[in-house]
Amino acid sequence: MTRPPIDNESGREPRTPAPDGLPPLLHADNRLLVFIKPPGLLSVPGIGPHKADCLASRAEREFPGARIVHRLDRDTSGVIVMARDADTHRELSRQFQDREVDKQYEAIVGGELAVDEGVIEAPMRKDLDDPPRQIIDDEHGRAATTGFRVLERLGDRTRVELLPVTGRSHQLRVHMLSIGHPILGDDLYAPYDLLQASPRLLLHATLLTITHPGTGRPTTFHDPCPF
C-alpha cells in the first residue's frame, strides 16, 4: 500500500482538539468502514511522533488492515470512507481519481451571497511563502472546481452547500475566500472577526456517494450537519 501524503496542517495545533477513541462508525461491512470524523483529528499521520495520532491509526488498531482512501482537512468534520482490503482500496482510489464519487459539504460563510447558486473555477497551488496555505494561481495552479448553493440566509452570514468536483487541498476554504465569503472559524483564511465567530471550522462533509466495490451499486452515506 502506498502511504498517503502527509497532512499539510500537521504543524499547527487544532483549535478544537479531537475526542479520544474511535470516531462514530456510520457504516461497516466486509469491504468498507465509514466514519464521522470529528474536527481536530488528522486523517493521516503528520510529521513527528506528536502528530502520529490520526483516524488512520485509530481505525487500524480496531480494524487491522483498514486503510485510508481519501482525506478530510484536520479541522473539517464529517463522512469519510476507509477500505478494509487491498482490492477495495484500489477500486475506491480509482473512483476518487476518476471523479466518479459525489461529495457534498455544508458550511457557514461570512456575508450574504449575491446569487443563490454558482460554480467557482479557480486553479490552486501551495503558497510556497506561507505553508500550509493554498492560493489561487491562474497560471501555475492545478484546475479546481466547486459548485455552491445557498441553503439559508442568516443576515451577516450564509449557510451553503458545497459540491467539489476536484479535490485540491483546502479547496472549499480557498474557493469561498476567493469570492469574498470565507468560512467561519477558519484559522488559515478567515479574517479575525470571522475566525472568532466560531470555536471550530464550520465545514462538514455531509454526504458521500460511491459505487460499492462489493455490490457494484451506488451507495450513499449521510451525516447531518452538526452546526
Of 73 and 9, which is predicted with more confidence? 73
- What per-residue confidence (pLDDT) applies to 7? 45
pLDDT number for residue 13: 80
Per the annotation, the verdict on 73 as an active-site residue is yes
Return mean pLDDT, the chain.
Answer: 94
Confidence of residue 43 (pLDDT cuts 50, 70, 90): very high
Rg (CA), the chain: 17
For residue 48, the model assigns a pLDDT of 79
Confidence check: pLDDT of 8 > 60: no
Superfamily of domain covering 104-203: Pseudouridine synthase (3.30.2350.10)
Q: With bands split at pLDDT 50, 70 and 90, how would you rate the model's confidence at 11?
A: low
Mean pLDDT confidence for 66-95: 98
Mean pLDDT for the stretch of residues 80-84: 98
What is the per-residue pLDDT for 42? 96
**pLDDT at residue 10 is higher than 50:** no
> Is pLDDT above 60 for 215?
yes
Average pLDDT over residues 123-151: 97
Give the pLDDT confidence of 101-134 residue by residue, as tens digits: 999 999 999 999 999 999 999 999 999 999 999 9
Band of residue 141 on the pLDDT scale cut at 50, 70, 90: very high
Tell me, what's the pLDDT at 1? 34
pLDDT of 9 higher than 80: no
CA dist 199 to 14, 39, 136, Å?
10, 11, 26
Name 34's bridge partners.
27, 81
- Report the sign of the C-alpha dihedral through residues 135, 182, 78, 102, in that order: negative
Residue tagged active-site, from 7, 29, 73, 193 = 73
pLDDT at 5 over 80: no
Measured CA distances, 10 to 16, 94, 171, 206, 208 (Å): 14, 26, 17, 24, 25
- pLDDT for 16: 85
